[in-house]
Structure formats: C-alpha cells, structure tokens
Structure 1
C-alpha cells in the first residue's frame, strides 16, 4: 500500500463523512425551522 493509496482512501472517506455531516446538520436545521413554523 503506497502513500498515494492512503491519501486517496482518506480523501474519499473524508468527503463521505463531510457529506453525511452536512446532510445531518441540514436536516436538523430544517426540522427546527418546521417546528418554529408549527408552533407559531
């Protein structure tokens, strides 16, 4: 396993983790937004 392979694997897993994190945060914000509308 070369250094390049490690960088590629790390990069792809980091990108996936970032996407999951962004979607989770987006979902949380959307849920809070809906709650505030419903409570009004």
Structure 2
C-alpha cells in the first residue's frame, strides 16, 4: 500500500510540475512572440 501511495504522490507532483512548466513556457513564448500570444491566449 505505501508503494501505491508513493506512486500516486509522485505522479501528482509530476503533473503539477508539468502544468507549471507548460504555463511558464507559454509565458516565455508569449513574451517573445506577440502573434503566438494572440493565438494561444
């Protein structure tokens, strides 16, 4: 059971990291290219 719980917690933290990375990457791209900002906002 602790192994499954650990896997769930690890997956959850990875998902949060992935969402944060995607948002910050989007923000970086949007700052570099106003056209992309217009398309994806």
Q: TM-score, normalised to structure 2's length? A: 0.77
Unmatched runs of 5 consecutive residues or more in structure 2 = 35-41
- In the superposition, the TM-score normalised over structure 1's length comes to 0.78
Name structure 1 gaps, 5 residues minimum: 35-40
Larger Rg: 1
* Matched residues, number: 34
Aligned-residue RMSD, C-alpha: 1.2
The structure whose RCO (Cα within 8 Å, separation 6+) is larger is 2
